């Protein structure tokens, strides 16, 4: 691979003269720099899962080891020789890392026209390649990828399931059919579900929900005699739990139901794998077109403590 890239770097672009070649090289370098720094705020998965900073771009498999204490101790007589045994059980799990590829290019006439006009070559193609790559990374971090076995934030294996009570109007679980008191009960319920199911070992610090439900709790007063909203009341009682909207929660539950999710957003509990951010490889000449291959790598989300995650569907 390295030899091939070296050949590509040293390859003379026969279709361009010296001045055109120099112009294209300078413009492409500028395009790469500007495009790499572009931001896409509507791709939010990176905001909701910490990324693992220790992974390098050569990693093919992520291997996780977990240790469980096993065995017992008991009260014994002074001369007892049948002491029970305690030990440590080791489990391993592996996660694969996959490559993402795309490309963009300029034809001979586009380069010459830009040079003759004294204008920069169009950056929209490079931006489109960056955008396409970021869309895949965002989707995999959120939903995983069934075809390659990658896991995302919204389908953590062995996570807890919180049953949203169907006691709203018409025996509905939907928040649109519930009073503020019942909505708060549901928000508290999913958080406390993690606490009780783990014997108070785990507690969430993040609560995600669809935008519509978030808007409801942010704008609906808890009581007609108070200016506090449902969200104000919850934050007062659970100051350590951030509440955020995310469009991917809409229809993310079983059967396409809207989902809320409580979890511990901490690198000690889960991490996303993006070993290689978006990169642009040396330009390749193909006939009258100059192609820029683009590459990235992603490994989904690894949750070290699945019981620190709870999903509640049907809100």
* Per-residue pLDDT tens over the stretch 179-217: 999 999 999 999 999 999 999 999 999 999 999 999 999
Q: What is the pLDDT of residue 79?
A: 75
Separation CA 104–CA 127 (nearest Å): 9
- The yes-or-no verdict on residue 89 having pLDDT over 70 is no
Which one has a higher pLDDT value, 63 or 41?
A: 63
Separation CA 84–CA 89 (nearest Å): 16
Q: What is the pLDDT of residue 246?
A: 96
- The yes-or-no verdict on residue 11 having pLDDT over 70 is no
Percent of the chain topping pLDDT 70: 87
Average pLDDT, the chain: 87
- The yes-or-no verdict on residue 1 having pLDDT over 50 is no
- The yes-or-no verdict on residue 237 having pLDDT over 50 is yes
- The yes-or-no verdict on residue 23 having pLDDT over 60 is yes
Separation CA 249–CA 256 (nearest Å): 10
As a whole number of Å, the end-to-end CA separation of the chain is 51
- The yes-or-no verdict on residue 9 having pLDDT over 80 is no
Separation CA 54–CA 150 (nearest Å): 19
- The yes-or-no verdict on residue 24 having pLDDT over 50 is yes
Please say whether the beta carbons of 303 and 261 come within 8 A. no
Separation CA 65–CA 55 (nearest Å): 16
Please say whether the beta carbons of 269 and 282 come within 8 A. no
- The yes-or-no verdict on residue 22 having pLDDT over 80 is no
Tell me the two tokens of residue 119.
């204008």
Separation CA 89–CA 92 (nearest Å): 10
For residue 131, the SS3 value is helix
Q: For 247, which DSSP code?
A: G
* Residues whose CB is less than 8 angstroms from the CB of residue 302 and which lie 6 or more positions away in sequence, other chains included: 52, 62, 64, 95, 151, 270, 271, 272, 273
Partners of 208 in the beta sheet?
Answer: 244, 261
Percent of the chain topping pLDDT 90: 60
Q: For 303, which DSSP code?
A: E
The 10 Å Cβ neighbour count of residue 111 is: 23
For residue 66, the SS3 value is strand
Residue range 259-278, pLDDT digits in tens: 999 999 999 999 999 999 99
Tell me the two tokens of residue 186.
């549901």
Separation CA 140–CA 154 (nearest Å): 10
Residue range 184-194, pLDDT digits in tens: 999 999 999 99
Backbone angles phi, psi at 256, to 5 degrees: 80, 15
Distances 28 to 25, 63, 106, 119 between C-alpha atoms, Å: 5, 38, 10, 13
- The yes-or-no verdict on residue 10 having pLDDT over 70 is no
283-310 burial: b if 16+ Cβ within 10 Å, else e: bbbeeeebebbbbbbbbbbbbebebbbb
Tell me the two tokens of residue 7.
């050949």
Please say whether the beta carbons of 138 and 46 come within 8 A. yes
Backbone angles phi, psi at 218, to 5 degrees: -80, -25
């Amino acid at each position: 691979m390295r030899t091939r890239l070296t050949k590509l770097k040293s390859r003379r672009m026969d279709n361009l003269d010296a001045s055109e070649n120099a112009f294209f090289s300078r413009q492409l370098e500028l395009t790469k720099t500007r495009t790499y720094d572009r931001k896409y705020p509507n791709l939010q998965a990176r905001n909701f899962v910490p990324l693992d900073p220790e992974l390098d771009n050569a990693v093919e498999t992520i291997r996780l080891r977990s240790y469980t204490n096993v065995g017992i101790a008991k009260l014994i007589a002074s001369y007892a020789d049948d002491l029970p045994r305690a030990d440590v059980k080791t489990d391993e799990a592996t996660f694969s890392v996959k490559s993402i590829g795309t490309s963009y290019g300029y034809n001979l006439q586009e380069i010459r026209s830009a040079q003759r006009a004294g204008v920069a070559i169009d950056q929209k193609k490079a931006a489109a390649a960056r955008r396409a790559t970021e869309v895949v990374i965002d989707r995999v971090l959120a939903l995983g990828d069934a075809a390659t076995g990658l896991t995302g934030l919204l389908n953590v294996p062995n996570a807890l399931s919180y049953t949203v009570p169907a006691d709203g109007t018409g025996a509905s679980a939907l928040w649109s059919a519930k009073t503020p008191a019942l909505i708060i009960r549901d928000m508290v319920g999913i958080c406390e579900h993690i606490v009780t199911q783990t014997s108070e070992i785990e507690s969430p610090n993040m609560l995600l929900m669809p935008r519509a439900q978030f808007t409801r709790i942010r704008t609906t007063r808890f009581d007609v005699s108070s200016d506090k909203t449902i969200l104000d009341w919850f934050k007062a009682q659970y100051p350590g739990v951030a509440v955020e909207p995310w469009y991917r929660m809409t229809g993310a539950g079983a059967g396409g139901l809207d989902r809320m999710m409580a979890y511990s957003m901490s690198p000690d509990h889960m991490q996303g794998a993006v070993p290689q951010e978006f990169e642009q490889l040396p330009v390749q000449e193909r006939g009258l077109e100059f192609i820029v291959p683009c590459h990235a790598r992603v490994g989904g989300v690894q949750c070290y403590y699945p019981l620190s995650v709870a999903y509640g569907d049907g809100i």
